[in-house]
Amino acid sequence: MAIDEVVVIENSSVLHDEILVHRLGLIPLKTDLDSYNLPEECPCKSEFGCNLCRVALALDMEAGENTTTVYSQSLRSENPNITPVSEKIPIAKLAPNQKIRLEAYARLGKGKNHAKWQPVSACAYKYLPQIRINEKKCDACGKCIEVCPKKVFAKTEKRVEIQNILECTLCKDCVDACPQNPPAIEVSREENSFILNVESTGTLPVERIILEALNILDKKYEDFLNQLR
């Protein structure tokens, strides 16, 4: 959910209305996917929306005698579950006697249409590493432990052990550092296995994001099959 429409009633700050509104749009809002409809799927079919496809937020701030920063906590939402994920996102600075009064409408949307609807701030995947240490050849000299930038290996008594394989970036420095010929370490990747890292903006829990993404993929495949038929 993100702010999609703003009625600026008064804005005497130095920011143009457009910039102010753009900043409001990019504030991540805690989202309730189960209680709201996408505007295009809502039975109201209204361009203004209804209680099932829109949340109103109001902002009314005036600086007194001192310069004041307006933070996201000043946005008052009609639904206490739909609020900014952080209270400390600066929106604008007001010089003495400057004023901002506006009403904003948040709606559900998709990142495909605007980045403000992206629930994810960072997403990356890598191969699942596979490391084999040949116990017969390895003399536990520890060269691989020293050279590994991710501290994948650890020494226990007379052996080298793998302690956090998920950190491995497959750089193979350990293989090059091994004095044995051929090396006692083998680094490869597992077929069909990946490590997916997802970071949420706070709008939705990561588990929910993944499940919703899978639902959307599922629907696309179903549509595709129907079209084929």
Which positions lie near Zn ion, rule CB under 5 A? 42, 44, 49-50, 52-53
Cβ closest to Zn ion, residue 14 vs residue 50: 50
At closest approach, how far in Å is the CB of 5 from Zn ion? 13
Distance, C-alpha 224 to centroid of its chain: 28
Cα separation of 185 and 214, whole Å? 37
Give the closest residue to 57 by CA, choosing from 20, 85, 34, 29: 29
At closest approach, how far in Å is the CB of 105 from Zn ion? 11
Cβ closest to Zn ion, residue 113 vs residue 192: 113
Give the closest residue to 102 by CA, choosing from 167, 56, 136, 147: 56
Cα separation of 52 and 129, whole Å? 46
At closest approach, how far in Å is the CB of 48 from Zn ion? 9
Cβ closest to Zn ion, residue 43 vs residue 64: 43
Cβ closest to Zn ion, residue 79 vs residue 130: 79
Find the angle CA(67)-CA(73)-CA(76) to the nearest 5 degrees. Answer: 115
At closest approach, how far in Å is the CB of 171 from Zn ion? 52
Give the closest residue to 6 by CA, choosing from 75, 73, 61, 109: 75
At closest approach, how far in Å is the CB of 1 from Zn ion? 13
Query: Quick one: CA dihedral 86, 88, 90, 95, positive or negative?
Result: positive
Cβ closest to Zn ion, residue 49 vs residue 183: 49
